[in-house]
Amino acid sequence: MAAPLGTLVFYSDFDDFGTWKDALQAQLPQLQVLPACAVERPEDVHYAMAWKPPAGFFQQMPNLRLIVNLGAGVDALVGRADLPAGVPITRITDPQMARMMAGYVLFAVLRHARDIPHFEQAQRRGEWAYRHPRSPQETSVAVLGLGQLGATAAHEVQRQGFRTLGWSRSPRQIDGVACFSGAETLDGVLGQADIVVLMLPLTPETHGLFDRARLQRLKPGAAFVNVARGALVDQGALTALLADGHIGSATLDVFAREPLPADDPLWAMPQVLVTPHLASVAIPSSSARQIAANILRVAAGEPPDNRIDPARGY
Ligand code: NDP
């Protein structure tokens, strides 16, 4: 029998403990997996897998060797005061998660490219509001952020025949995608796109990047899709630009405050689709293997994969 690996503590208000426990123990039967509320000996906890745990959570465990962020975005984790120094933080980068995200992005892009918000509104008025379709080649889509999720989405968008632009921090190459990098190229990319898709991590550099002035760089009538984080955008400015028609329509999965407050004007805007932060989620069956592999690496004294850089913020 394999030697015990110690204990992994699990915390998430959004994910099912039992499903994750079964998925992890299918990979590592010798790992004890406990929900945070069942941990009696915090000193025995070597691994933490968490999504938005309460403040002070990590301080209770003096022998942590690995923190697994239960998701792709680590903005809620980096910068926390209770992170133990020197303990590596990893995130989930799962092809199935990327596929789920690409599906959402493709849905949003096609919805805007085919003027579906216009037809939805016309239907509510009982109106046959013909608008001649454009071919995909006539529509430019900019995917901002070309990481694990963004690159997959950009690939899927270009496969549909859209003129696809991509933007990242460092130079990237994706077949069929015109890639740009660096802050100085952003406004040029925005000015060319009929549909802008935000897929950037929230970091000190990207926080508030889409302020009023930058949103005004979008082509008049462009569609705006945010599946990244609400704090990238000045939501008040976005709302005002949607109201005055400069931004034609939007698909928003993330918001400055979540849940989006009941009195927020975005709810009632017919040209806006609001979804409750679910464009993609961590999938236990497909990501347990990489988490297990990282636990084994750390147990053997090796560095884990998919490590994030807290200084960079992603
Ligand atoms: P990655 O960390 O793999 O990639 C991030 C990309 O953004 C990289 O291309 C990176 O550039 C680029 N980037 C980062 N900072 C800058 C900057 N200052 N200027 C220009 N480009 C920058 O992230 P993922 O693709 O895995 O995920 C993206 C985000 O999606 C997550 O951070 C999370 O916030 C969000 N998300 C949302 C979900 C939802 O359900 N709505 C679900 C999962 C994730 P470079 O290539 O040079 O490093």
Please compute the mean of the pLDDT values over residues 20-48 and round it to a whole number.
97
pLDDT tens for each residue of 107-146 = 999 999 999 999 999 999 999 999 999 999 999 999 999 9
Instruction: Label residue 4 by pLDDT band (50, 70, 90).
Output: confident
pLDDT exceeding 70 applies to what percent of the chain?
99
Q: What pLDDT is recorded for position 1?
A: 58
Q: Which strand ranges, in their side-by-side order, compose the sheet holding 272-274?
A: 177-181, 163-168, 140-144, 195-198, 222-226, 247-252, 272-274
Residue with the smallest CA separation from ligand 1 atom 42 is 280
Q: What pLDDT is recorded for position 55?
A: 95
Q: What pLDDT is recorded for position 3?
A: 75
Q: Do the beta carbons of residue 183 and residue 168 sit within 8 Å?
A: no
Burial 39-49 (b: 16+ CB within 10 A, else e): beeeeebbbbb
Which CATH code of 3.30.70.580, 3.40.50.720, 3.40.50.1000, 3.30.2020.30 fits the domain covering 6-94+282-299?
3.40.50.720
Instruction: Please classify residue 116 by burial: count the beta carbons closer than 10 Å to its beta carbon, then call 0-12 exposed, 13-18 middle and 19+ buried.
Output: middle
Residue with the smallest CA separation from ligand 1 atom 5 is 147
pLDDT over 80 (residue 280): yes
Encoded tokens for 252: 């928003």
Q: Could you tell me which of 17, 16, 6, 25 has the C-alpha nearest to residue 289?
A: 25
Please compute the mean of the pLDDT values over residues 233-262 and round it to a whole number.
98
Q: Identify whether 112 is a catalytic site residue.
A: no
Amino acid at 111: R
Q: Identify whether 277 is a catalytic site residue.
A: yes
Q: How far is CA 298 from CA 18, 92, 278, 291, 292, in A?
A: 24, 16, 31, 11, 10
- Ligand 1 contacts CB of residue 200 (under 6 A): yes
Please compute the mean of the pLDDT values over residues 207-231 and round it to a whole number.
98
- Ligand 1 contacts CB of residue 46 (under 6 A): no
Residue with the smallest CA separation from ligand 1 atom 8 is 147
Which of these is catalytic: 229, 246, 289, 307? 229
Q: Do the beta carbons of residue 30 and residue 48 sit within 8 Å?
A: no
- Ligand 1 contacts CB of residue 154 (under 6 A): no
pLDDT tens for each residue of 249-262 = 999 999 999 999 99
pLDDT over 70 (residue 150): yes
Residue with the smallest CA separation from ligand 1 atom 15 is 169
Please compute the mean of the pLDDT values over residues 12-40 and round it to a whole number.
97
Q: What pLDDT is recorded for position 187?
A: 98
pLDDT over 80 (residue 57): yes
- Ligand 1 contacts CB of residue 253 (under 6 A): yes
Place of tokens 């204990």: 7
Please compute the mean of the pLDDT values over residues 24-52 and round it to a whole number.
97
- Ligand 1 contacts CB of residue 152 (under 6 A): no
Contacting residues for 180 by C-beta, under 8 A, at least 6 apart: 165, 166, 167, 168, 186, 188, 189
Please compute the mean of the pLDDT values over residues 37-49 and round it to a whole number.
97
Every domain of the chain with CATH number 3.40.50.720 lies at 6-94+282-299, 95-274
Mean pLDDT rounded to a whole number for the chain:
97
User: Ligand 1 centroid vs 199 CA: distance in angstroms?
Assistant: 5
Encoded tokens for 300: 């053997």
- Ligand 1 contacts CB of residue 226 (under 6 A): no
Q: What pLDDT is recorded for position 156?
A: 98
Please compute the mean of the pLDDT values over residues 170-199 and round it to a whole number.
98
Q: Could you tell me which of 145, 132, 71, 139 has the C-alpha nearest to residue 110?
A: 139
Contacting residues for 296 by C-beta, under 8 A, at least 6 apart: 5, 28
Residue with the smallest CA separation from ligand 1 atom 16 is 169
CATH class of 95-274: alpha beta
Amino acid at 262: A
Q: Which atom of ligand 1 is nearest to the CA of 314?
A: 2
pLDDT tens for each residue of 151-184 = 999 999 999 999 999 999 999 999 999 999 999 9
User: Ligand 1 centroid vs 78 CA: distance in angstroms?
Assistant: 14
